[in-house]
Amino acid sequence: MKTKLCLLLLFLSTLFHFTVTRPVQALAKFSTNYQVNYTVYPSGVTHVKFLINQVNNLSVVYATEFSLSVNHTRLENIRVADENASLVPNVIRTRNGSIISFSFLNKVVGKDKKHFFTIEYDIWSRAILSRHFGLPPPKQYQEKIDSENCPSSGY
């Protein structure tokens, strides 16, 4: 009888555990969607444009700043716009890339509210020219590469 009672209690406690408790999940404050457009020019310059849509998942928070890490160290013509207002980004170059960060001008508060902004920059890739177009680097970039004694890292 005691064994049956113990088995019944074990069964009920297991059933209670799996039906009442829920797994712990982190609550994300924002959902961020990216659309990235690349325009490759015959000169070897690639224009990169991020169209970013950030959605508030909570009603009482808003984003004050944003940062984006990219795998390129030589970014040129960096532009950031917060819903059509130009911003001045802070760019930190690391050994293997760059971090573009900035503070928002507009505060978008409220659950499911959307915040649109863009990040644009130009890169030049020797690999794109040689692999896809069969062209040597343009003279202006060849001079930059030679004068900087740059290692072969795709630039």
Q: What's the pLDDT score for residue 152?
A: 38
**Which residues have C-beta within 8 Å of that of residue 59, sequence separation ≥ 6?**
109, 110, 111
Is residue 15 in some structural domain?
Answer: no
Is residue 10 in some structural domain?
Answer: no
Q: How many CA atoms lie within 13 A of 32 on its CB side?
A: 15
Sheet strand arrangement including 90-93: 65-70, 98-103, 90-93
On average, the pLDDT of the chain sits at: 74
Predicted confidence band of residue 85 (pLDDT cuts 50, 70, 90): confident
3-state secondary structure of 126: helix
Is residue 131 in some structural domain?
Answer: yes
Total domain count for the chain? 1
Q: What's the pLDDT score for residue 136?
A: 55
Q: What's the pLDDT score for residue 109?
A: 86
Reported as a single tens digit per residue, the pLDDT across 96-116 is 889 999 998 888 888 888 989
Contact 28, 116 (CB under 8 A): no
Neighbours of 75 (CB within 10 A): 19
Is residue 51 in some structural domain?
Answer: yes
Q: What's the pLDDT score for residue 8?
A: 52
Reported as a single tens digit per residue, the pLDDT across 3-16 is 665 555 555 555 45
Domain of residue 85 covers 30-148
pTM for the model stands at: 0.64
Give the CATH number, domain containing residue 124: 2.60.40.1180
DSSP tag of 106: S
